[in-house]
Amino acid sequence: MTKVAGPLKTAHAKLAKTPSGIKGLDEIMEGGLPQGRPTLVCGSAGCGKTLMAMEFLVKGATDYGEPGVFMAFEETSDELAQNVRSLGFDLEGLIRQKKILVDYVRIERGEIEETGDYDLEGLFIRLGHAIDSVGAKRVVLDTIEVLFGGLTNEVILRAELRRLFRWLKDRGVTAIITGERGEGALTRHSLEEYVSDCVILLDNRVINEVSTRRMRIVKYRGSAHGTNEYPFLIDEEGFSVLPITSIVLTHKVSDERISTGIERLDAMLDGQGYYRGSTVLVSGTAGSGKSSLAAHFVDAACRRGERTLYIAFEEAPAQIMRNMRSIGLDLEPWARKGLLQFHAARATLFGLEMHLAIIHKLVKETAPRVIVLDPITNLNHAGASRKEVTDTLTRLVDFLKMQGITVLMTSLTSGEKGPQEKTDVDISSIVDTWLLLRDLELGGERNRAMYVLKSRGMPHSNQIREFHLTGRGIELTDVYLGPEGVLTGSARLSQEAREKAAVLERQQGLEAKQRELERRREALEARIVALRKEFEAESEEMARRIAEDRSRAEVSRLDRMRMGVSRKSDDGAGLTRTVAPRPRKNQEEHRA
């Protein structure tokens, strides 16, 4: 196992890389530019070649302790400094600190008369001197093709360029050579023939009136690299490439659950709400309550004390807050506390990449735990194709997942036709939990209903709930499921009333029965009491009779005794024994 991995690793390590320091670029290039070798950056005018090269130098000087030389063929040092100041680079300061040296090489045609053999040793000497004087590790030649404009002997020029690139390699400097995009070739003068280690192509396209910058690594000898076209942008913080598609799905997964802000919705999601770091899509037709659902989530997050970012593509923050107040959600205190941050921008304002980059930046700045994108469908208006929107969102979601941020996106479904289980921007596959809001038209009413279309990794309710926007926020109620299907609104209410009446009726019947039973029990008990009384009376009578009988028997015995006494019978034992014991003896003797 290790034996296999060993040589592979060393093969990888063979190609040393120099981090460009440009956001995202090093990720695509798996570490950076090939160290000690020239890299060709080509593209048409205004595509950002110079800025990219300059950032490479500035970042090298400031972040990596590698001084650099910028050999400028097109702009003077002052012009360059001015141009990059807008990116936040203090070129003049770096020049003063001897971290960067700018050598402006001015070549003008017409001034030069060629009178025979020559070479470009002057350029080599200048470059060598510049490298030595600051101890440069990085070199930029921008744009060396200008030489072709000033000098006419192409044979000499080509030979010298070949020598120059070899010389740069020998010097061991990591270089960026910029070249103008040519017809049918990467560069107008086929510089790619000489710089063959690494070629980066920059592009600035205007699609639907929105300009989009892209870059692609055409070639990277001896190294793996991302092969896609990556959007990039240039803003006040410099160059940034958005390499998110190159990211593999290795983000950490959380088991933590967070409330949706709506109790009954939590209940629908296994009683606990969304997963932390998951992607939630709320799709629905216009006015179905998507933003309100989002606001609940935001409110819940802020209550937990979590930073929240609300990206609004449609409404101004003030308007959102006003609207949410009408359903009893006051987001303003959260905004004042700084827990909730709004970013509102019309989708049409910039290209997709710019939106993406702004979100990236905001995420980096505010480090939110929860982010709301409302609505993502508006990005369709950002002048990009559907596929691009999908790609961009996928990248964004992946990026946010990497940071463990829970994303709630709303998506407007055009409604009427087609299945609702389809988003206008095709992102269903990257969504973890999908809530579908829909209008149900029934009995001349339009009512809101909601259900969980999917929710990965949890047992969730499959029931449709009716969805109300009340003064106390969103409330979910059970819908009536009858033979005619789902009933909502008044239909549900009337059905409920009918049911209630039936229940009442049944309840009343039951009560009557209970009363009847009670009555019968009372009657029974009365009879029991009567019977007992009767019994008691009878038993009393019986006792009386027994006593009578007994006294009668006594009387008759006494009578008999008296009779016996009167008859001198020896039957009257008591009397005889007491009165005349002797005669008894006599009697026995008499018998014997």
- As annotated, the active-site residues are 74, 314
Contact 343, 315 (CB under 8 A): no
Nearer to other proteins, 123 or 491 (CB): 123
Nearer to other proteins, 129 or 568 (CB): 129
| Displacement of CA 586 from its chain's centroid (Å) | 130
Nearer to other proteins, 147 or 474 (CB): 147
Single out the segment in contact with other proteins by CB under 8 A; choices: 107-115, 383-391, 519-527, 545-553: 107-115
Interaction residues for other proteins, span 511-570 (CB under 8 A):
none
Among 10, 13, 45, 115, binds other proteins (CB under 8 A): 115
Examine residue 98 and tell whether it contacts other proteins (CB under 8 A): no
In the block, tokens 């440069």 appear at 136
Single out the segment in contact with other proteins by CB under 8 A; choices: 41-49, 104-112, 224-232, 282-290: 104-112
Query: Residue 143's closest CA among 108, 176, 194, 178?
Result: 178
For residues 139 to 168, the per-residue mask of contacts with other proteins, x marking binding by CB under 8 A and - elsewhere, is --------x--xx-----------------
Smallest separation (angstroms) from other proteins to the CB of 147: 7
Smallest separation (angstroms) from other proteins to the CB of 107: 6
Interaction residues for other proteins, span 227-256 (CB under 8 A):
none
Q: CB count, 10 Å around CB of 225?
A: 18
| Number of residues near other proteins (by CB under 8 A) | 24
Report d(CA 244, CA 455) in Å as an integer.
24
Smallest separation (angstroms) from other proteins to the CB of 374: 56
Examine residue 112 and tell whether it contacts other proteins (CB under 8 A): yes
Examine residue 221 and tell whether it contacts other proteins (CB under 8 A): no
> In 330-469, which ranges are continuous DSSP H helix?
332-337, 352-366, 386-402
| Helix pair angle (121-134, 154-171), 10° resolution | 20
What residues form DSSP beta bridges with 374? Answer: 312
Single out the segment in contact with other proteins by CB under 8 A; choices: 122-130, 331-339, 427-435, 535-543: 122-130
Nearer to other proteins, 160 or 197 (CB): 160
Among 30, 74, 90, 103, binds other proteins (CB under 8 A): 103
Contact 486, 449 (CB under 8 A): yes
Among 6, 122, 328, 333, binds other proteins (CB under 8 A): 122
- As to burial, measured by CB atoms within 10 angstroms (0-12 exposed, 13-18 middle, 19+ buried), residue 229 is middle
> What is the DSSP-derived secondary structure letter of residue 474?
E
| Helix pair angle (290-303, 317-325), 10° resolution | 90
Among 123, 164, 269, 382, binds other proteins (CB under 8 A): 123
Single out the segment in contact with other proteins by CB under 8 A; choices: 124-132, 209-217, 221-229, 373-381: 124-132
Among 30, 64, 90, 107, binds other proteins (CB under 8 A): 107
Among 129, 221, 498, 513, binds other proteins (CB under 8 A): 129
Which of helix, strand or coil describes residue 378?
helix
Nearer to other proteins, 165 or 232 (CB): 165
Smallest separation (angstroms) from other proteins to the CB of 82: 20
Nearer to other proteins, 10 or 115 (CB): 115
Among 113, 236, 416, 589, binds other proteins (CB under 8 A): 113
The number of residues making up the chain comes to 592
Nearer to other proteins, 133 or 494 (CB): 133
Q: Phi/psi at 383 (nearest 5 deg)?
A: 80, 20
Report d(CA 486, CA 237) in Å as an integer.
54
Report d(CA 268, CA 453) in Å as an integer.
11
Single out the segment in contact with other proteins by CB under 8 A; choices: 118-126, 301-309, 369-377, 414-422: 118-126
Smallest separation (angstroms) from other proteins to the CB of 53: 19
Smallest separation (angstroms) from other proteins to the CB of 120: 6
Q: CB count, 10 Å around CB of 333?
A: 10
Among 119, 445, 484, 499, binds other proteins (CB under 8 A): 119
In the block, tokens 């659950």 appear at 257
Nearer to other proteins, 166 or 568 (CB): 166
Query: Residue 135's closest CA among 98, 190, 177?
Result: 98
Nearer to other proteins, 106 or 515 (CB): 106
Smallest separation (angstroms) from other proteins to the CB of 126: 4
In the chain the first and final C-alpha atoms are separated, in Å, by 134
Smallest separation (angstroms) from other proteins to the CB of 163: 13
Nearer to other proteins, 112 or 367 (CB): 112
Examine residue 78 and tell whether it contacts other proteins (CB under 8 A): no
Examine residue 118 and tell whether it contacts other proteins (CB under 8 A): yes
The reply to whether omega before 375 is within 30° of 0 (cis) is: yes
Smallest separation (angstroms) from other proteins to the CB of 117: 5
Q: Can you give 307-359 as a three-state secondary structure string?
A: CEEEEECCCCHHHHHHHHHCCCCCCHHHHHHCCEEEEECCHHHCCHHHHHHHH
Nearer to other proteins, 105 or 412 (CB): 105
Single out the segment in contact with other proteins by CB under 8 A; choices: 123-131, 218-226, 360-368, 493-501: 123-131
Residue 98 falls in which region: left (phi positive, over 0), alpha (psi -120 to 50) or beta: left
Q: Which long-range contacts (CB under 8 A, 24 or more apart) does 188-196 make?
A: 188/145, 188/148, 189/145, 189/148, 191/40, 191/42, 191/144, 191/145, 191/161, 192/40, 192/42, 192/218, 192/219, 194/161, 194/162, 194/165, 195/38, 195/39, 195/40, 195/165, 196/221
In one letter, which amino acid is 382?
Answer: A
Examine residue 40 and tell whether it contacts other proteins (CB under 8 A): no
Examine residue 121 and tell whether it contacts other proteins (CB under 8 A): yes
Smallest separation (angstroms) from other proteins to the CB of 76: 12
Query: Residue 340's closest CA among 297, 375, 276, 376?
Result: 297
**Please, how many CA atoms are within 13 Å of residue 471, restricted to the half-sphere of its CB?**
0
Summarize as ranges the residues that interact with other proteins (CB under 8 A): 103, 105-107, 111-123, 125-126, 128-129, 147, 150-151
